[in-house]
Structure 1
Amino acid sequence: MNTLTCFINTFRRLLLLRNSLLWTGLFLVSGCDLAVIEPSDGKLRSDFTFQVQDPLCNANCSVSFTNASKNATSYEWDFGDESAVSTLPNPVHVYATSGAFPVTLRAFNDSIQHDTTLTVYINQTPNSSGFKAFKHTVGEGMVQAESPQLTMMDNALTNNKPDKIIVVTPVLGKRNSAALGVYYWGGKWGIFNQNLGSLQEGEKFNVVTADAGSEHAFVHTITPANKRLIHVSTMDHPLLNNHPNARVFVTPVWEKSSDYITWPVGVVYVNNRWEIMHLHQAELPADLKINVIISEDSNSFTHICAFESIVGDYSKFDNVLTNNKPAALVITTFNQGAEITWPVPNDQPTGLWYGPNANWSIYNQNGDAMLQDRKYNVLVVQ
C-alpha cells in the first residue's frame, strides 16, 4: 500500500477507536504496509490450522495440526472420528478412512474454555462441484533465470494432468501488478506473469482445480464466431445460459506466443449469456483458451465493494465462508454483472490477503484506491 493509503487507513481506524472507546489494535505505518500490534487483552482464544499430507490419500491419511490459540495453558483435540482425545499442542493424526471430519480444539485456562471447530476433508471435496484446492508458494530456486516470469507447481492434484482445469488468484506474500495465466509443460502446470515480468520468491497463489469433463468446469476458446466485441467473447454452457446469478471464475491458458494478455479478464452477463471480458477493453487474442469454473453451491458468493467495506486499496469481505478462516483457499474473478457500461470495470490486477480483523479482503496490486460498486465472485474451498 502506498504511504497515502497507509495514512488514510490509520486515520480511519483511530477515528473508530475514538468513537467506540474500545481497544481494537494499533496500526502503524511501516513503509508501504500496515504493521499490526495484536491487543494484549489476555482473553482466551482457541484457533488452529491443518495440513493434509497427501490430498489424494483415502486410507490411513496423516494430518498435521498447528495450534494458533492464545492465552491457553492446556488443550484437548477431538478429531471427529471417535478416536481418543489428544492433549498435545500440535498433534499429527491419522485418519483410517476418507470422509469429512469435524475437528474441535478446546483451549483451557484455569476454569475458562474456548472451542473452535473446522472440518477436515480426507479425499472428499467440501463442495458439491468437486473442486479441490491448494496453495502454491514461490520458494527458493523456483524462479528460473531463463524464464523468470514462470513458476512451476509440484502437486499431486495437477502433476501429469494436462487436461486439468485450473483457476488461480494471488495471495499477499509479495505484491505483483501483472495479470496471470497458467501453462502446462513437462508434466506440470505453471503460473506466469502475462507481462513477462519476473516473479519474486515468496509470492503465493491459491489454486482451485476441477477435472476435465466436470459439469462445473470447461475450457472456453476465443473464436471469431463468439466474439461479440473485440474485447468480449460469449460463452455457451448449460449452467451459464439464462443463469444471471451463476458465479464464474476464469484464468487464461498459454499455448502459443500470441496468447499473452497483459491485463486481467473478468465476466459480464449480456443477453442471457455470460461472457469473457478483457477488463482493459483491448482485443482478446484469437484461439486464446480460458479455464472456466462455475459455482452453484453455498461455497461461493458475490462481494460488492461498498463504502463501508473499502479501506484505501482494499475491500473487506464479510461472509461466514471467510470470516475467521485464515486457512481458507479463496479465489476471485471480477464480475461486471449485467451493467455493461457502468460501473467502469476495475482493470487492475487484484490479490487477496487475510487481515488483522479476521477478514479476507481483495486489494489492488498497484496500490490504487479500490472503487465502490465493483463486484467480485468469490469461491471458498476450506
Structure 2
Amino acid sequence: MAPRTLQPSGLVLVFLPSIVSTLVVILRIWKKVTSKHFAIEDVLLIIAQSLIFILAFTTWRSFKVSWYGYHYYDVPPGAKDIILILKWNYVNAVIYNPILGLIKASFVLTLIKLRSPNQRINYCLWAIFAINAVFTVAAPLVCAFQCKPVARFWNKSLPGSCLDGPSYAYGTIGIVLITDVMVVIMPTWILYNLQMPIGKKLMMISFLSFGLAVTAIGAYRLYVFHYLYNGFTKNPDSAYSVRQGLSNLEVSLASIGACGGTIKWMLGLCMPFFASEDSRIAKSKRSDRSNSSRERDNRHTPEPDLITTDGDDMELRDQPEDNHGPVWKKVTVRSRNRPTSRHETPDVEVKPDDQSSTTTRPTEWDASSKASTMLGKDTSSYERRQTPRRVI
C-alpha cells in the first residue's frame, strides 16, 4: 500500500498560482506594450514574476529532498539529508524576500501616477515607496548573511554565529504586514473623495485592494511561525502539511493583485458590468462604425460628421482630401425648430488653410451666406474646417 502523502496537493499549491499569475502578468505587459504605456513599474513586475517562477522550482526541490507532505513513519530511514534540506531552505528564503517588495513598488508607482490632487496622499505614497525600497534591498542581504560564515546556516557544526531565528522571522514578517496594510489603505483613500457612483467606487476599491488576501496569508504565516517557535517544533509529524506552499501562494496573489486593472478588463470582456465606461463607449463606437459602414455600402454615400451647436445641427460631409488641390465639402443645415425642413447647399470649393479666400463654382450660390441667413450668424468657419469632429 502506497503511503499517504500531501505532497501532490502542496505542489499544486506551489505551481498553479504561479502559472495563473504569470499569464495575468503576460497579458498586462501585452496591453501595456500595444498601447505604448510600458513603464518602470512593468519592469519591476516582470522581475518579481521571474523570481516567483524560480521560487516555485526551488520549493519543489525542497519538497522532494525533505519528503515534505509525508508522515514521518513513511519516510525511509536515512532518506533525509539535513544539510541538503537546509541548503534549499536557504535558497528559498533569499529568493522570497525581494519578491513582495518589488510587487509593492510596482503597485505604489502605479498609484503615484494617478497624481492625486491631495498632496498628503502623494507624500504618503512616496514615503511608502521609500520604506519599501529600503526593505526590499536590505531584507535579502540580511537573510543571505544572517550567519557568519554563511555555510553555518546549513551546517551548525561550523564555528561562528547566526541571528536569532524567531527575532528575524517576527521582524521581517512584521514589516511586510505593516507595508501591506499601508498599500491596501491607499486606494480607498485616493477614491474616497472622487465623485462617482458608490457602486462603481466600491468596485474600483475592491480591484485595487486585492492585496487584502496577501495580508491575510501573511498574518497566518506569522501565526504559524509563532506556533512553531512556542512548543510545536518537537512534533515529529510536522512535515505532514502543505503550509510551506503558502509562501508561493502569497507572492502569486500579490502579483495578480498588482494587475487589478487587467483583471477588471478581463472580466469586462465576459461581463459588461465590469467593463469601464471608456470600454463601453469604444465598443459602442465600433458598433456604430460597423453599422454605418454597412449603410454606406448600401447607399454609396459618405457618413457625415456631426457638430452640435446651440440650437442647430451642422452636418459636414467630407470627400477624400487632395493635398495638391482644393477640398470639396457639402454643408447641410438642419433646424431643430423645424425638424421636417431640410436645406441642402451645393458643393462649395474650400481652398487649403494657407489661402484665405473661398471660391464657388460658376452659377452656384454661396452656402455660407445661405446658412447665415437661416441661423442668424456667420457659419463660414464650419465650411473651412479641414477635419470636422463629432461632438455629442
Instruction: Name the structure with the higher helix share.
Output: 2
Q: Which has the higher strand share?
A: 1
TM-score with structure 1 setting the length: 0.25
Q: Taking CA–CA contacts closer than 8 Å with sequence separation of 6 or more, which of the two structures ends up with the larger relative contact order?
A: 2
Structure with bigger gyration radius: 2
